[in-house]
């Protein structure tokens, strides 16, 4: 089945596109944005084939919006699950109070049983797989949690292994004979079910960020801690770990350095730690080089560790600083140097 909305008069194209999408998927309402389509008349193209329980479609269109309204849900008995895998351009999928920002390589599930909206800010192309909800073998509460969440192979987990395989299977469907096509379609449906199960059980990104950073706060004193250690602990790919920190405006190394300096600064200001050499405090919080710690501390806070300790002691209520064991530049005086040398 193929629909090409390019030979019609421009005014007839939105209605024709709406009919094509509604016949292929579920009842939908369509609006198109003629003005932003890079000065060209709006066009759309849709090809689809059904193989048993699985339907595979490729959709290309100019900017606009697709809406599955509450009225359409009530009037249309189809309750399939649709899986949108973005190939070019971008799309915003909104359902169940969430928004999935889809760029090439990203995938999201949406449920025809409830309203959804897809916004195309630019010309785009996507592959849409449609299956009966029973194929995914998920409880309704898990399906509800799955919709409009981004599945990205860069995030690791099952998606990193299975989405490229799914692409290969779908591409092979177009080249295979009838019997082989049915086999490939069944395999593709199983892959979709596995990806859905993995995604439904994956913590949402805010929860994952909180889990990772909470764990890291307990490991600040490990000088050999690496991004690979962190990624393995939380069962995500190294690439996704770096991407997660990038989305929060930092890097793994910078985040660790900042938290370690904060912890050391707090300990240096604590009266109960006044007897500890600065090198011992630095080592406790993951700094293997006292000189590197002193430089990093001064760059961050504008004072050497010794100056900060003395200032904190002078400002502490009811306390008077004793004679310092450290010089203003953080070097250990003779009385304490032996302690530092074996840290």
**Domain 206-252 class, CATH top level:** mainly alpha
Question: In Å, how far are 43, 202, 241, 264 from 207, measured between CA atoms?
Answer: 41, 10, 14, 27
Domain 259-341, second-level architecture: Orthogonal Bundle (1.10)
User: Regarding beta strands 54-61 and 44-51, do their DSSP bridges make them parallel or antiparallel, or are they unpaired?
Assistant: antiparallel
Global pTM reads: 0.62
Domain 2-151, second-level architecture: Sandwich (2.60)
Structural tokens at position 130: 């449609």
- CATH 1.10.10 domain position(s) in the chain: 206-252, 259-341
Instruction: Give the gyration radius of the chain's Cα atoms.
Output: 29
pLDDT above 70: residue 86? yes
Q: What is the pLDDT of residues 289-339, one digit of tens each?
A: 999 999 999 999 999 999 999 999 888 765 444 444 433 333 333 333 333
- H or E, element range at 172: helix 157-173
Kindly report the three-state secondary structure assignment for every residue of 110-165. EECCCCEEEEECCCEEEEEEEECHHHHCCCHHHHHHHCCCCEEHHHCHHHHHHHHH
How many Cα atoms sit within 13 Å of 73 on the Cβ side? 13
Q: What is the pLDDT of residues 147-204, one digit of tens each?
A: 999 988 776 667 777 888 888 888 888 788 888 888 888 888 888 888 888 888 766 6
- CATH 2.60.120.10 domain position(s) in the chain: 2-151
- The vertex-242 CA angle with 244 and 143, nearest 5°, equals 40
């Amino acid at each position: 089945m193929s629909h090409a909305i390019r030979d019609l008069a421009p005014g007839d194209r939105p209605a024709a596109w709406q009919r094509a999408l509604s016949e292929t998927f579920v009842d939908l309402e369509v609006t198109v944005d003629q003005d932003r389509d890079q000065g060209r008349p709006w066009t759309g193209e849709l090809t689809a084939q059904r193989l048993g329980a699985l339907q595979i479609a490729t959709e290309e269109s100019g900017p606009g919006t697709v809406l599955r309204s509450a009225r359409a849900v009530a009037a249309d008995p189809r309750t399939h699950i649709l899986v949108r895998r973005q190939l070019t351009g971008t799309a915003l999928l909104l359902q169940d109070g969430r928004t999935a920002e889809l760029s090439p390589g990203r995938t999201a599930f949406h449920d025809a049983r409830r309203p959804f909206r897809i916004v195309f800010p630019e010309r785009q192309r996507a592959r849409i797989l449609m299956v009966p909800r029973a194929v995914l073998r998920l409880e309704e509460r898990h399906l509800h949690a799955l919709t409009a969440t981004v599945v990205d192979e860069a995030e690791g987990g099952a998606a990193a292994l299975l989405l490229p395989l799914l692409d290969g299977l779908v591409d092979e469907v177009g080249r295979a004979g009838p019997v082989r096509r049915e086999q490939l379609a069944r395999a593709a449906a199983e892959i979709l079910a596995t990806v859905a199960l993995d995604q439904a059980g994956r913590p949402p990104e805010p929860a994952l960020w909180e889990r990772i950073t909470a764990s890291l706060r307990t490991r600040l004193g490990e000088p050999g801690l690496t991004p690979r250690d962190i990624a393995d602990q939380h069962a995500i790919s190294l690439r996704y770990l770096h991407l997660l920190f990038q989305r929060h405006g930092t890097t793994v190394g910078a985040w660790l350095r900042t938290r370690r300096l904060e912890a050391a600064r707090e300990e240096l200001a604590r009266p109960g730690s006044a007897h500890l050499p600065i090198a011992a405090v630095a080592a406790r919080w993951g700094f293997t080089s006292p000189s590197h710690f002193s430089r990093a501390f001064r760059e961050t806070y504008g004072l050497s560790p010794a100056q900060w300790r003395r200032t904190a002691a002078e400002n502490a209520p009811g306390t008077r600083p004793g004679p310092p064991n450290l010089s203003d530049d953080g070097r250990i005086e003779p009385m304490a140097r032996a302690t530092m040398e074996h840290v």
